[in-house]
Structure 1
Amino acid sequence: MTDPKNVDYHEIVRRGDTEVMEFFLKAGLDANLYDERGFSLLMLAAYNDQRPMVELLLQHGADPDSPDRNGNTPLMGTAFKGYVGIAQTLLTHNANPNARSAAGATPLMMAAMFAQQELIELLLQYGADPTLQDAKGNTALSIARANGHSHLIPLLQATQA
């Protein structure tokens, strides 16, 4: 196996070069490898909208809930960015829709903050709990209200009834 110091596996992931990454994974590379900044391969694939890479890493045992140093998971990254397809892939591989960051935020809260309606609907479908509160007592509903996303309020209110 190539010495990890000589290959930038995380850059391979960012570029979405699944053919090269598959070679390394089959040769024994840990699919849960983290970089020096605390990002897993899966986190970077999800954050850079590399769905085929996300699928490849998950097939090779990547943890769908691999957190960064702040407790953010790949699903949280997709909620922030609006990558519904990647979120679907993560959720079908058992990513936790109620995972918490260090500040207590959930993927649903992040989707509400950035007005990602389709992601909110998907997260709710997979069991996201809209009543959860972050460390400051905010819920997805209160975050949507605070950010002026009034079109999300009926959706989030309906799930709390």
Structure 2
Amino acid sequence: LFYQICVVLLQGGADAWKNALHYAIDIQNEHLVDLFLSLQHCDPNFRDRDQMTPLHLAVQVNNPTLIQILLSEDRETQADPNLPNRNGQTPLHMAASLGYMGIVRTLLQSDLPEPCDPSILDVRQLTAYQLALENHHESCAKLIDEYQQSLTKLSPRREISESINENEINPVMNP
């Protein structure tokens, strides 16, 4: 039965590189997205031919509700906000470059096992912060900058020379 459904879909023009979740996001049907994500074998990080995940597509259609559903901690597996597309851009890159302030905030504030990483570089070696500035979305850039500063305050990094005494590394060589 599933084979026959797949044959009908592909003969009807369905893209073999997309799954049902991609299509549900394309038509912005929140109920279908929620239903598909409740199924055991639905991968919220499945990539299409452009390496776009469902989260990328939800950003592209500027739908904060879909993004919240994809990032919901009520699920066994959430969408990964750090996966890059073909251009090396994460969903944060896309939201920042388009000026979607609410989505930038949602991505940065999501409570995920692996939090959103604003330091990721795209193929042009630009961060989401730099893309926001390049596209004149200063409020998005400011939000990303504040988030990065809060991360630095939570886990300050010290220079190696300050934190490690050479004698502690190799006491045999330095009597």
Same fold (TM over 0.5): yes
1:56 corresponds to which of 22, 35, 38: 35
2:22 corresponds to which of 37, 43, 65: 43
1:157 corresponds to which of 136, 142, 145: 145
Q: Which residue of 2 aligns with 1:72?
A: 52
Which residues in structure 2 correspond to 1:13-52 (within 5 Å)? 35-36=14-15, 38-52=17-31
Secondary structure of 2:139's counterpart equals helix
Contact 1:46 1:78 in 2 (8 A): yes
TM-score (norm 2): 0.72
TM-score (norm 1): 0.78
Distance in 1 separating the partners of 2:15 and 2:128: 32
Distance in 2 separating the partners of 1:153 and 1:55: 31
Kindly state the Cα deviation for residue 8 of structure 1 after the two structures are TM-superposed: 3.7
Distance in 1 separating the partners of 2:30 and 2:6: 26
Larger radius of gyration: 2
Distance in 2 separating the partners of 1:142 and 1:50: 32
Q: Percent identity?
A: 28
Kindly state the Cα deviation for residue 36 of structure 1 after the two structures are TM-superposed: 2.9
Distance in 2 separating the partners of 1:83 and 1:5: 28
Distance in 2 separating the partners of 1:39 and 1:65: 11
The root-mean-square deviation of aligned C-alpha atoms, in Å, is 1.9
Which blocks of at least 5 consecutive residues in structure 1 are unaligned? 12-34
Contact 2:96 2:141 in 1 (8 A): no
Q: Which residue of 2 aligns with 1:118?
A: 102
* 1:33-70 CA distance string (max 9 Å, x none): xx435221101111221110001111123100110011
The answer to whether 1:89 aligns with 2:89 is no
